[in-house]
Structure 1
Amino acid sequence: MELKTIRYEIVDGIATITLSRPKRRNAWTGRMHTEYRWALQEADRDPAVRVIIVTGDPEGGAFCAGADLGALEGHSEKGRYDPGITEDIARPGFGVAPEFDATFAYHFGLTKPVIAAINGPAAGVGLVLAAYADLRFAVPGAKFTAAHGRFNFPAEFGLSWILPRLVGVTHANDILLSSRVFTSDEAMGMGFLNKLLAPADLMPHVTAYARAMADGVSPGSLRETKRQIYQDLHRDAATAVTEAERLLNEMVKHPDYKEGVKAWMEKRKAQWQG
Structure 2
Amino acid sequence: MTALRTDAPIGVFDSGVGGLSVLRAIRTELPREDLLYVADSGYAPYGDRDADFIADRATTITELLLDAGVKSIVVACNTATVVAIEKLRSWCPVPVVAMEPAIKPAAQSTKSGVVGVLATSRTLASPSVARLCAAYGKDIQILLQACPGLVEQVEKAQLQGAATRELLVRYLLPLLQAGADTIVLGCTHYPFLAPLIREIVGSDLTIIDPANAVAKELARRLQGNLRPDSSERTAEVSFFSSTAIQEASPIMSALWGSHVLVHELTRSGKGKQINSAALG
Q: TM-score, normalised by structure 2?
A: 0.31
Higher helix share: 1
The one of the two structures with greater contact order (alpha-carbon pairs below 8 A, sep at least 6) is: 2
Q: TM-score, normalised by structure 1?
A: 0.31
Higher-Rg member (1/2): 1
